[in-house]
Amino acid sequence: MRADFVNKFVEGEPMPDQFEQLKQKYQPVLAKIQEEGAQLQNLNLDGNQLCLKATAVSEASKNRIWDAIKAVDPTFADLKHDIEVQAGDQSYTVQPGDNLSKISKHFYGDANKYPAIAKANNLDDPDKIKVGQKLVIPAAA
C-alpha cells in the first residue's frame, strides 16, 4: 500500500469502502427493518459511523429492531441510529397464515390485545378475517 494512501486515511478519514463494510456488518438490522415493515428513511456514513433513521410500525417492532442491533454489536459504537414509532392508527393487509392474535403480537408485542383490532374493525368474529382484507390497527393505548 502506498504511504500517502495510508497517511490520508489514518487521520480519521473513512476508508472508501467503509460505508459498504458497515452496511454489511449491520445487514441483519437492515433485514429486520424490512421484515418488520418499518420504513428506512436514511442510511449514510457520518465520519466513521453508519447513520440509520427508520420509523417502526409499533413499539414492539422498534424493540425487535433494537434487539437486532444489539445482536450485531452490543456497543454499536460505529452506529448512529434514530428509530421512531409511527404515530396514530395504521393499516394492515391480512397475509396468508395471519390471525388477529398474530397481528396483535406484531403491532403491540402482546397477542392478547387482539380485541382492540377486532373492535376497531367492527369484527363480530375475530377468527373470520380474510387474506387481502385491510384492517385498521389502532394506536397502542
Cβ neighbours of residue 100 closer than 8 Å, sequence gap 6 or more: 114, 117, 118, 123, 126, 127, 129
Is 90-137 in CATH node 3.30.43.10? no
Q: Is pLDDT of 8 > 70?
A: no
**DSSP single-letter state for residue 135:** E
Q: Is pLDDT of 2 > 50?
A: no
pLDDT (tens digit per residue) in 59-102: 889 999 999 999 999 999 999 999 999 888 889 999 999 999 99
Helix (H) or strand (E) holding 55: strand 49-56
Helix (H) or strand (E) holding 84: strand 79-85
pLDDT (tens digit per residue) in 32-57: 999 998 999 999 999 999 999 999 98
140 pLDDT band, cuts 50/70/90, is confident
Residue ranges of the chain that CATH labels 3.30.300? 3-85
Residue ranges of the chain that CATH labels 3.10.350.10? 90-137
Q: Which CATH number fits domain 3-85: 1.25.10, 3.30.300, 2.50.20, 1.20.1630?
A: 3.30.300
pLDDT (tens digit per residue) in 117-137: 999 999 999 889 999 999 999
